[in-house]
């Protein structure tokens, strides 16, 4: 977890330096590629645990825009449920880590949809119930 938090913090600092490229009001988001038609995808690995605190605090629209600007991926894949058995976003169904200050899934979905980048979820089946 320590490495993941450091990476998230570094990306957060970087996004302040890079800035955002949001679409103008009223502009249509570009179409997203199907995965079969994609070349470059990025998997962002975050397996929430019961001991994690302030989940989603560093997942901001500005950070996501900065990642998309730097990497220009065809798709992003984030974790739905990690190996420890907890969802990586707040949910009323299943098990979540419980210490969310923001909904990271909502942030990723809104920005990737706005930018025309496909968003996929990875569901780890290693541990179903903590």
Is the overall model pTM greater than 0.95, yes or no?
A: no
User: What pLDDT score does 128 carry?
Assistant: 63
Q: Over the stretch 99-125, which tens digit does the pLDDT of each residue have?
A: 899 999 999 999 999 999 999 998 887
Higher-confidence residue: 126 or 24?
A: 126
Q: Which of 122, 124, 117, 1 is nearest to 55 (CA)?
A: 1
The pLDDT of residue 25 = 62
pLDDT tens per residue, range 45-89: 888 888 889 999 999 999 999 999 999 999 999 988 888 888 889
**What are the DSSP E strand ranges found in the chain?**
41-44, 75-81, 118-123
Residue 10 confidence (pLDDT): 39
State how beta strands 75-81 and 41-44 pair.
Answer: parallel
Q: pLDDT value at position 130?
A: 58
């Amino acid at each position: 977890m320590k490495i993941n938090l450091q990476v998230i913090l570094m990306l957060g600092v970087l996004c302040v330096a890079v800035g955002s490229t949001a679409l103008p009001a009223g502009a249509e988001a570009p179409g997203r590629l199907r995965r079969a038609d994609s070349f470059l995808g990025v998997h962002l690995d975050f397996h929430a645990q019961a001991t994690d605190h302030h989940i989603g605090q560093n997942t901001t629209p500005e950070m996501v825009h900065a990642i998309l600007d730097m990497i220009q991926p065809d798709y992003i894949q984030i974790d739905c449920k990690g190996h420890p058995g907890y969802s990586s976003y707040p949910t009323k169904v299943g098990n979540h880590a419980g210490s969310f200050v923001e909904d990271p899934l909502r942030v990723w979905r809104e920005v990737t949809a706005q930018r025309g980048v496909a968003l996929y979820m990875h569901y780890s089946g290693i541990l179903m119930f903590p």
